[in-house]
Amino acid sequence: MARVVVVGQGYVGLPLAMCAVEAGHDVVGFDVDHDRITALRVGSSYVEDVAVDVLREALTTNRFRPSTEPRDCAGFDVAVITVPTPLREGAPDLSYVESAARTLARFLRPDATVIVESTSYPGTTEELVGPMLAEVSGLTPGEDFFLGYSPERIDPGNRVWDLINTPKVVSGVDARSLCAVRSFYDGLVKQTVPVGSTREAELAKLLENTFRHVNIALVNELAVFAADLGINLWAAIDAAATKPFGFMRFTPGPGVGGHCLPIDPSYLSWRVRRSLGQNFRFVELANDVNDHMPDYVVRRLTLALNRRKLPVNGSRILLLGLSYKANTGDARESPASVIIDRLLALGADLRASDPHVVEHHVDKRVTRVELNQEEVAAADAVVLLTDHDAFDYDLVIKAAQFVFDCRRRLTGQQVETL
């Protein structure tokens, strides 16, 4: 059993803390957010992938201590940094990682292990976190303590792949650090994948997300052209996906969101520009295409209403799904918020339904409604933005006058697909 500190109790840190408790460790879940820690202490989970029962069970072991008190980090054997890494004015904002490293540095002891899981540009662990830990503690990474990077691959709402059965890339600033990092995760997950350096592990994470971002941009741009050409892109994607090699299925949508795709590739392009003075054109192009999708959705909706001699101004529009992807309540960076802005600016009478997104994450100007027969029938247009499984699609098809479906979930006379 090790004494583990997980710094940051969000979408990444809380599931990891639960997993470490299950593996028999003594875990401090440290977070600066008092509300979150208060919720955890009373067994209330704000992360959908962590069931209340799992949290309560962890609390009853007395081996999970949620805390806002830095002193509770003292004496750790392993500390994992899972704090946010947002963009500020287009550049990486590593202030949260720096603050987490400063907290840990005060309690760092010889032979302890510090692991960064937050997504960041290659070099962050060695160039930023290592020196900060060394400066405050007087200890040297790789010699006195172990330091590594292990990217999180958690996919909120995914019912097949979770923290335990998704292979975990592990790395260290030297061979002994890699060994320490690997042995920690070997006790938690089914498979670890060691790589040669922390930079490779950091790049692997950004490659995964940039790959997805670029491929989504490819089908999004194609969706715009295919609609103008009068060709069903979705059918073409289905056909292409029958090729058993060399093709991977991506589908268009109203834009990208969440904490990863709109942000992570920009960490990589920032690093390339900063270090090499070059533009990472694929990332910039993908940002451009994906950022324009919410406007394109509004344009298509406007045209569809226009065909029925309806202006957006005053039309009753029901948005279905506000989170950035299906079956999660994560509404961060969701394209829905841009679409809401645009439609309100055009004077739409806007309502929205989402069984996952909590109330305070929804724009106050939008009337939140339950998905029912009356709401659907009264809407001039229903726009399916996020295809949660919980929606009653039969009801939508039966009652709707017109549906603009951004996910190709529905079929019917009154349905138009993105």
Ligand X SMILES: NC(=O)c1ccc[n+]([C@@H]2O[C@H](COP(=O)([O-])OP(=O)(O)OC[C@H]3O[C@@H](n4cnc5c(N)ncnc54)[C@H](O)[C@@H]3O)[C@@H](O)[C@H]2O)c1
Q: Which residues bind ligand X (CB under 6 A)?
A: 7-13, 30-33, 36, 82-85, 96, 99-100, 103, 118-119, 152, 154, 156, 259-260
Q: How far is the CB of 310 from ligand X (least distance, A)?
A: 38
Sign of CA dihedral 103, 105, 109, 113: positive
Pick 63 or 212: Cβ nearer ligand X? 212
Contact between 401 and 307 under an 8 Å Cβ cutoff? The reply is: no
Pick 127 or 374: Cβ nearer ligand X? 127
> In the numeric block, which tokens belong to residue 96?
């949260």
Q: How far is the CB of 25 from ligand X (least distance, A)?
A: 18
Q: What angle do CA 389, 391, 392 make, to 5 degrees?
A: 120
Contact between 182 and 171 under an 8 Å Cβ cutoff? The reply is: no
Contact between 320 and 354 under an 8 Å Cβ cutoff? The reply is: yes
Q: How far is the CB of 23 from ligand X (least distance, A)?
A: 19
CA 193 to chain centroid: 22
Q: Which of 19, 73, 179, 260 is catalytic?
A: 260
Pick 40 or 233: Cβ nearer ligand X? 40
Q: Which positions ≥6 away from 157 have C-beta within 8 Å?
A: 48, 49, 325, 326, 327, 328
Q: Is 260 a catalytic residue?
A: yes
What single-letter amino acid sits at 380? D
Q: How far is the CB of 358 from ligand X (least distance, A)?
A: 13
Pick 91 or 345: Cβ nearer ligand X? 91
Pick 118 or 177: Cβ nearer ligand X? 118
Strand ranges (E), 311-387: 316-320, 349-353, 367-368, 381-384
Q: How far is the CB of 397 from ligand X (least distance, A)?
A: 32
Q: Which residues are catalytic?
A: 260
